[in-house]
Copies of this chain bind each other. A is one copy, B any other.
């Protein structure tokens, strides 16, 4: 990966230093840009929360060839890791790629590595549609995340997702804090559980699974599950909407304990290695999402870079599972940590 990272650094250095450990220090406060908002500690807490957990090494067992695969809503993934959606790569990374070029590489890379890609929403529905049109033949490998618009605006986008062949989608409700989207004529807003239930009902009517992204408390995880969410995604938006939040790995265990039986539990934020993936699984996640390092890999190696990055993560995960005695993803649990 070194060449990929070096090339990426050259290309996006105005916005991202491609640090040895992507931990939110060098880019603190750079929003837009790739950093965490304000002091940047919300981003940094994501990384340090995972670093604070340690793996219990075990070698007396038969999990010598662990299985990293996982099934998600009828689809077999090579690893329990998806690409998280990212907003404008021009604004956030200073990228010279168009949104279309970037999405193409992201999705192709994910498919090549046996996983799926989250993609982001835009203020104008037409732009969102252009993005979806482009991936029509690979729709089932793409999860569009819609911003927290009013119901009518959301339905327009749900229809587009269906038309593109997607069978799952999500909403990053925490985007309610994005100033630029709050100033629109039809702005984003926080959504009440009742509004969320109506939105999810529309998604289900269209046979779309629905992920509620931006959950950081047990009560909102319960509210999302009660509203019909197929998955809650524990996320603080990469630390980019609210300063001073805890790291996602800190709140994950209680959320998983509260709703893990009723809905899938996903997590993003600070996941940088196979060990981090295994820690998140052990803390209660069913699926983990990675964002910034995937974007770096694409800028350093395009489609192939993304695929190679996920393959490295899968190999690391496999090794970590072997040395903790974890034979498959479903077997991960708190006993792997100490």
Closest B residue to A45 by CB, please name it: B54
B60 touches A196 (CB 8 A): yes
A259 to B287, CA, bound (A): 37
Stretch in A100-108, A212-220, A290-298 touching the partner: A212-220
Contacts of A62 in B (CB 8 A): 190, 192
Q: Which of B176, B216, B338 contacts A64 (CB 8 A)?
A: B176
A39 to B48, CA, bound (A): 13
- Give the residues from 32 to 69 in chain A that come closer than 8 angstroms, CB to CB, to chain B: 38-39, 41, 45, 51, 53-64
Q: Which of B56, B61, B174 contacts A192 (CB 8 A)?
A: B61
A176 touches B59 (CB 8 A): yes
A323 touches B60 (CB 8 A): no
User: Is A246 among interface residues, defined by CB-CB distance under 8 A?
Assistant: yes
Closest B residue to A59 by CB, please name it: B173
User: Is A275 among interface residues, defined by CB-CB distance under 8 A?
Assistant: yes
State the interface size on chain A (CB cutoff 8 A): 58
A219 to B325, CA, bound (A): 12
Contacts of A56 in B (CB 8 A): 216-217, 245-246
User: Is A27 among interface residues, defined by CB-CB distance under 8 A?
Assistant: no
Q: Which of B45, B60, B241, B244 contacts A220 (CB 8 A)?
A: B60
How distant is A161 from chain B, measured CB to nearest CB, in Å?
21
- Give the residues from 196 to 216 in chain A that come closer than 8 angstroms, CB to CB, to chain B: 196, 212, 214, 216
A190 to B57, CA, bound (A): 11
Contacts of A251 in B (CB 8 A): 338
B241 touches A338 (CB 8 A): no
How distant is A286 from chain B, measured CB to nearest CB, in Å?
21
How distant is A49 from chain B, measured CB to nearest CB, in Å?
11
A323 touches B174 (CB 8 A): yes
User: Is A123 among interface residues, defined by CB-CB distance under 8 A?
Assistant: no
Contacts of A243 in B (CB 8 A): 55, 273, 275, 320
Contacts of A63 in B (CB 8 A): 190
A244 touches B61 (CB 8 A): no
**22 pairs, A vs B, C-beta closer than 8 Å:** A51-B244, A53-B244, A55-B243, A55-B245, A56-B216, A56-B246, A57-B216, A57-B217, A57-B245, A58-B216, A59-B173, A59-B176, A59-B191, A59-B214, A59-B220, A60-B190, A60-B193, A60-B196, A60-B220, A60-B224, A60-B227, A217-B338
